[in-house]
Amino acid sequence: MKCNTLHNKLIFYLEGDLPEKEMEQLRIHLSECSECAQFAGEMQKTLGILEAEKSPEVNPFFFTRLKAKMEQGAEYSGKVSGRPALIRIIQPAMFSLLLLTGIFSGIKIGQKVQDQFYATISAEEQVIPYLNEMDAEPIEAFLME
């Protein structure tokens, strides 16, 4: 048997999932080839570590602590004083008011800037009325020249 074939089937061999004939061939090869035997030993250690990590120790008091916390949370949620309820109402209302104030002030500032912009454009058009002659004649006449 070749070493590559053994490497492909080694996990199945270590888990005992191969037919008896192939298991015997792999045992013979592992007894003859020291490199494959060393590789199989390392693979066996790795699988042992993985198996140990699969099933961690269960804390015996986990369920009782979890149940106590859930009961404590149920008791706490029933106790709602007037102040936190008031905060839950006022906080979104204040945020909405602040948001609307910001939008309104942004619109007002934008209108002032826009008015100033149009005022400067109209003043420039009065000073140099013939700078933009494209409005005076059609585009077809301009392209024909």
Number of Cβ within 10 Å of residue 114's Cβ equals: 10
69 assigned to some structural domain = no
CB 64 within 8 A of CB 41: no
Number of domains composing the chain: 2
Nearest to 4 by CA among 28, 39, 31: 39
Side-chain half-sphere exposure of 86, counting CA atoms within 13 A: 3
pLDDT number for residue 128: 55
67 assigned to some structural domain = no
119 assigned to some structural domain = yes
Same domain flag for 44 and 91: no
Burial category of 130 from C-beta neighbours within 10 Å (exposed 0-12, middle 13-18, buried 19 and up) = exposed
pLDDT number for residue 97: 96
CB 23 within 8 A of CB 47: no
pLDDT number for residue 125: 57
Same domain flag for 47 and 92: no
Same domain flag for 133 and 89: yes
pLDDT number for residue 135: 59
Domain of 96, in residue numbers: 84-145
pLDDT mean for each 10 residues of the chain (145 residues): 81 85 87 88 88 76 86 64 76 94 92 74 56 60 65
CB 14 within 8 A of CB 47: yes
| Its pTM surpasses 0.85 | no
AA identity, residue 77: S
Same domain flag for 88 and 145: yes
Same domain flag for 143 and 88: yes
76 assigned to some structural domain = no
59 assigned to some structural domain = no
